[in-house]
Structures are given as C-alpha cells and as structure tokens.
Amino acid sequence: MGSPHMEPDHTPADTTPPAATPPAPDHTAPALTAPDHTASTPTASTPVAPALAAPAPVAAAPTTPPFSITIDGAYAARLARSGDAWFPERWTLDGPEPYAVPLPGNQPEEPGTQVQPMADGRVLIHRLVEHRHTFSLLYPTGPGTGELLLGAVECVEPDSRLTLLPPAPGGARAYALAVGTRSTVVWLVAGGAFAPERIAEVPGRCSGGVWLDRTGRMLALDREMDGRTKAVVVDLERAGEVSPLLQIAEGSDDRLLLADPDSGLLLISSDAPSPGRERLGWGVLGSTLPVRFPECLRVPDCVVTPFAIQPGQVLMPENCGVALRIDGPYGTWVGVWRPADRQIQHLRAPDGWPVGTGLWTADGALRVPYATDQVPCGVAQMTAGREQDPATADAGAGAGTDPADTGTNASSDSGTDSGTGTGTGMGMGTGTDAGARAEEAQAAAEVAPEPSPTPTTPGAPEPPEASEPFVPRPVPLQQAPLAAPSAAPFGAPLGGLVTKWHRSV
C-alpha cells in the first residue's frame, strides 16, 4: 500500500456543459478489472423476439458496470471515448437537464479503467499499473481536471484481482474487493481518514457486492468455498464479522444479485431448483418465508439479469418494480417485472444505453441513461404500465421519452414458480421486523385469476413495440411458518433460515 499524496480536498463548482463528445462503446476490461459487459442494443428496426429454445442460465452476480450511478441518482460516471482516447466523464443528473463534464488527465486512460461517482460530485478513478492499483479523486477545475491522489494497493499474487464495489450508501465512501487465492480483502479506498484501509478479510474467493442497509454497514458477498458459492454478509463496523446469509440447498450455488433496504426485497440466483442451470428467484430480507423462482423469469434462449429495484415500497416487497437486462439472439433490451406479477413487460432500450444500468424512482419511473452522437448525455424515463383494481388503477401502458419512446408488451408465462430443496436462507435483518412486514404484505395480497398467455409462440416474448394490457396476479407469500430464527452474531435481528421451498404460479 503506497502513501497518499495529500492535496487540498475541495471540489470547485461545475463548469458549463461541454461540447458533445462521442459516446463510449462497451468494452472488454482486462483481467484485473471488472468483467466484460458488452452487449448490443436493439435499434428501432431490429425485432426483439428471442427464438424458442431451452431456458438459458441467469447471469452471475453483476459487478460494477462501465457506467456507475450514485444511489441517490444525483451523479453518474463513465469512461468515455474521443477518437482512440479514453477519458473519465461525470454526469450530473439531479438538475433540470442532465449534462456531462469531461475529466481528462494528462494522458489517455486504459480501456479497463474503473470510475465511480461520489456524492460531492468528484469521481473516483481506479487505475492498474503493473501490480499496483492506484486510486484518485477527479474534479473539474475550470478548463482542466484536478486530481487528489489517495494511495495504492499492491496485489502480489499472480491470480489476484481487485475491483471497485458498487457505490456505497451515502456516497461519501468507496470500497474495493481484492480477491486472492484463499481469501478476499475489503478495502476502503475513499472517504477514510488515511490512505486505502484494510477493512475486512473474508476466507474464500468472493465476488458480487450488494449493500443491505442505508448506512453502508452490511455488505453481502458471494463467497466461493469448497467448490460451492453461498452469499454471506460482512459487518464492516465489527471488524468484518462474517455471517451466513443465503443457502437454499447444501449443494447449490446461491448468489445475491440485488437488495432493497426499504422493502427488504432480494433478487437471487440459484441452481437448486434446476441443477446445473441457475434460476432467478426472490425473497424478503429477514423473513422466514421461502425463496420463490417464478417461471416467467425464465425467458427462452435469453439471459436475464436484474439491475435495479424500485425503492420506497415499505411493507410492499411484492409491488417493487425490478428492472431486468435481457440478452438474447436479437440484441439486448429492458424488462420490467414485479413479484406480484406473473409476466415481464419488455421495453425497447434507447440507443446508446450502457447496458445493465438505470435507476428507479420511488414513484415507479425507471430512468435509463444513454449517449449518442446527437445526445451525448441523455436520460430516458420509462414508466411500466400496470392494470390494477379498477378503484385504484392508473390505466395506460408504459412509455419512454425521447429516443427511448418505449412501448410495452406484456409477455405472460403460465406455469409454476419452482422452488428449491432444503437448506437455509435469508439471514440478516435491517433493524425492522422484516418477517412481520412480509406477513402484513401477505395478508393484503389477493389472488386474482391467472391471465391466459398472450404471445402467439408459447414462451417467447414478442417485440417490445406495441402496448398490450394484462392482469397481474398478486402472489401471496407462503403462510406456513418455517424454522426458528437463529441468533444474530452482530446484533441485528436475523430472520429464520429458510428450510423448505415453495411452488406456485
């Protein structure tokens, strides 16, 4: 670990929006940075209808994408391109109109360089120089770019890798994950009192990274040990104390993909219901109720990856909107799904979308960034339509704005939610009684008649161009009590460990 070069810690006011710069295409990162997220984006003339085939496995837990957004949605950062040169770029999203500020350094950046926005408008940059990982904060200084060097972390093991974790709650701190041969180290690389600080060491090789609370204390990681991957929770305020979080079956690989602290909704992937093939499932944080694996999330011949959950839905995890990245033979597009529904709405992504990025607002609008030659910094707002009880329904199909003017198409999959074998799951709570929260939501749920399938080809979603009404079927959480809760070693209440699975539509 190198010593930081200290400079005054200040952030000058934003400069005026710069002239248009070419958008950054998706790129493949080198071995010691985040993995590739390259995918094509369907254009207006490209049909989006995957061919019928055996269900593809879901993607592994996503890591930091090439386009990163703060949790509050105020800032974003990406590695942009001008000709053959790469440079960091910060987007300001909380004003009347989004605009980008280029932050070029003294020389072009490597294509795999990672960037992450901070809450104060500065941009954290992670560079790899041989075996040294350096971290700096960038900020605009009129015509130039200011840089505050934070320090470096050296990885000497030949197969080690270090990547930034997703933006932390609050945006004042940033963390990185250094994966070694036998253990993984969590580093605080920005926002601490010193240079990069070693916060915790977790036995095993870890990946992913999901924040479970609004304080940045509880971090969920997918840990690989003895040939199996299980999600664990790391308490960063108790010397990195590690506790089990998710185990569906003893021999299954169980990963946590996304979590929403407000509602407690979890999105997971596991091969327990279909050995050898990962499936998307959902559960409630701290609940004793089982994980569900909806059949509608098995899109034929496609890979489905969740990337954003609607916040603010306290006591209503089933009503949270979940944004999905869907990769198929016809390109990549956006899907919207809710646990209370039995279908995915397929929405056309805007041209220039950094695939797998976006942010939900509490009122149910999905904000998706994009960059083209004509619009170098844009945000399309997608509102997915739902048909509800006539007394409370807000009729209408979802529509995008600007180039993303996205119609919706409801693809209905009849069948069953498949569940998992015996095991444990959903470990820690967040200071509220998530089990009671789930039961209250369950009591309010009413089962509606199952909608008949709408696509002409069973199991295959139609191109997301025409709007089509559908009837959602709320899925009540299972009522049967499960195993008794286990004690929380770090003081937060733990939900009972899941010991059975549930099968329903």
Mean pLDDT of 44-61: 37
Asked if residue 473 lies in contact with residue 450, where contact means CB atoms within 8 angstroms, the answer is yes
pLDDT tens for residues 364-375? 999 999 999 999
Higher pLDDT, 269 or 65: 269
pLDDT exceeds 80 at position 451: no
What is the structure's pLDDT at 160? Answer: 87
Mean pLDDT of 287-294: 91
What is the structure's pLDDT at 439? Answer: 44
The band of 385, judged by pLDDT with boundaries at 50, 70 and 90, is low
Residue 262, number of CB atoms within 10 A of its CB: 19
Which tokens hold the place of 317?
A: 């995890």
| Cα distance between residue 294 and residue 7, in whole Å | 52
CA-closest candidate to residue 297, choices 319, 323, 316, 272:
323
pLDDT exceeds 90 at position 157: no
What is the structure's pLDDT at 219? Answer: 98
What is the structure's pLDDT at 52? Answer: 30
Which tokens hold the place of 23?
A: 């958008």
pLDDT exceeds 80 at position 61: no
Q: CA quadruple 391, 393, 394, 397: dihedral positive or negative? A: negative
Q: Which residue has the tokens 């085939």?
A: 53
Q: What percent of the chain has pLDDT over 70?
A: 63
Lowest-pLDDT range of 16-25, 293-302, 419-428:
16-25
Higher pLDDT, 9 or 479: 9
The band of 444, judged by pLDDT with boundaries at 50, 70 and 90, is very low
Mean pLDDT of 412-416: 40
Higher pLDDT, 96 or 419: 96
What is the structure's pLDDT at 218? Answer: 97
Best mean pLDDT range from 39-48, 274-283, 496-505? 274-283
Mean pLDDT of 86-100: 95
Quote the DSSP letter at residue 157.
Answer: S
pLDDT tens for residues 303-317? 999 999 999 999 899
Higher pLDDT, 446 or 79: 79
pLDDT exceeds 50 at position 45: no
pLDDT exceeds 50 at position 12: no
Q: Which helix (H) or strand (E) holds 246?
A: strand 241-246
What is the structure's pLDDT at 131? Answer: 81
What is the structure's pLDDT at 31? Answer: 30
pLDDT tens for residues 101-145? 999 998 999 988 999 999 999 999 999 988 899 999 999 998 899
pLDDT exceeds 50 at position 78: yes
What is the structure's pLDDT at 8? Answer: 36
| Cα distance between residue 79 and residue 25, in whole Å | 9
Asked if residue 233 lies in contact with residue 427, where contact means CB atoms within 8 angstroms, the answer is yes
| Cα distance between residue 70 and residue 68, in whole Å | 7
Q: What is the dihedral of CA 80, 81, 85, 91, to 10 degrees?
A: -30
Instruction: Give pTM, 2 decimals.
Output: 0.70
pLDDT exceeds 50 at position 20: no
Mean pLDDT of 282-290: 90
| Cα distance between residue 138 and residue 75, in whole Å | 13
Cβ neighbors of 408 (< 8 A, separation 6 or more) are: 336, 345, 346, 347, 384, 385, 397, 398, 399, 464, 467, 468
What is the structure's pLDDT at 395? Answer: 32
What is the structure's pLDDT at 32? Answer: 28
The band of 386, judged by pLDDT with boundaries at 50, 70 and 90, is low
| Cα distance between residue 336 and residue 472, in whole Å | 13
Which residues on neighbouring strands pair with residue 336, listed in sequence order? 323, 345
Mean pLDDT of 245-266: 95
Across the beta sheet with 331-337, the strand order is 303-309, 322-328, 331-337, 343-347, 410-412
CA-closest candidate to residue 341, choices 326, 362, 319, 361:
319
pLDDT exceeds 70 at position 75: yes
The band of 464, judged by pLDDT with boundaries at 50, 70 and 90, is low
pLDDT exceeds 70 at position 282: yes
Higher pLDDT, 19 or 231: 231
pLDDT tens for residues 179-234? 999 999 999 999 998 889 999 999 999 999 999 999 999 999 999 999 999 999 99
Mean pLDDT of 251-277: 95
Cβ neighbors of 222 (< 8 A, separation 6 or more) are: 60, 61, 206, 207, 208, 229, 230, 231, 255, 256
- One-letter amino acid of 351: D
Per-residue H/E/C for 284-318: ECCCCCCCEECHHHCCECCEEEEEEECCCCCCCHH
Cβ neighbors of 338 (< 8 A, separation 6 or more) are: 318, 319, 320, 321, 322, 386, 472
What is the structure's pLDDT at 59? Answer: 44
The band of 407, judged by pLDDT with boundaries at 50, 70 and 90, is very low
Cβ neighbors of 176 (< 8 A, separation 6 or more) are: 126, 133, 135, 153, 162, 163, 164, 165, 186, 187, 189, 196
Mean pLDDT of 25-30: 34
Mean pLDDT of 328-349: 94
Backbone angles phi, psi at 475, to 5 degrees: -105, 105
- The mean of the pLDDT values for the chain is 73
Cβ neighbors of 158 (< 8 A, separation 6 or more) are: none
What is the structure's pLDDT at 70? Answer: 96
Mean pLDDT of 27-38: 32
What is the structure's pLDDT at 228? Answer: 95
What is the structure's pLDDT at 238? Answer: 94
